[in-house]
Structure 1
Amino acid sequence: MAKKNVRKIGKKMDKSEAKKWVKNYKKKYPHKENPNVTYGWLFGDDIIEKLLKYDGCEGIWFFKGINDEGEERLVMFPADADGNVLDRKMKSLGAAAINLRDDEFDPADDSERCPPNCPNGL
């Protein structure tokens, strides 16, 4: 099997189909019945650009996590050309990054959540 070009993973999609997918999710998990559901996360371009500038970064992994307060969060990790999680001290850590101490890598969080901070138009 040919190796995938990490930089080429993902593609633009039709705006109406994207909105439909979000509406389908909201319909399946209505907030009134699922008050802890998160529909989306907003990150600013500063943190995204910082992750993309990581030495050897070719993409970004997005993982769901749960913080100490029990809230579902989205965490981003820079990825290398093979899709492994990157670390500043060691070029590539692969799946082992999940088991590292917090001070050994620079993931990103601190996003705005929807709800309560939902955008118009979706």
Structure 2
Amino acid sequence: MTLKYTPDHEWLQVDGDIAVVGITQHAQDALGDVVYVDLPAVGATLNAKDVAGVVESVKAAADVYMPLTGEITEVNEALRDDPSLANSDPMGAGWFFKVKLANAADLAGLMDATAYDELLKNS
């Protein structure tokens, strides 16, 4: 499995051509207490950078972007029922959706943990 990050603070845990997607610890720290999530429809095909969902907190609302082109295969219904999972376990139980990647080679354009840490240091 491979872990990748986007400049928009989404993470992807990739296994073959399936990726689990969520928001990073940094994103949830910036948002504060998450109170609502809007998740994409299962079966939807989205392009990279499309808005795939929305996360709302007591402080702000933010779009969740599709990291790579693909088809939504599953959404985290537990997150819909308990949005605070995005705060308590953003890189685990607080995942947002799973996507079947249209082209796994596109992963090369995303950041690894070292590059993402550099992004955070320089922002």
TM-score, normalised by the number of residues in structure 2:
0.27
Higher normalized contact order (CA 8 Å, seq sep 6+, divided by chain length):
2
Higher CA-based Rg: 1
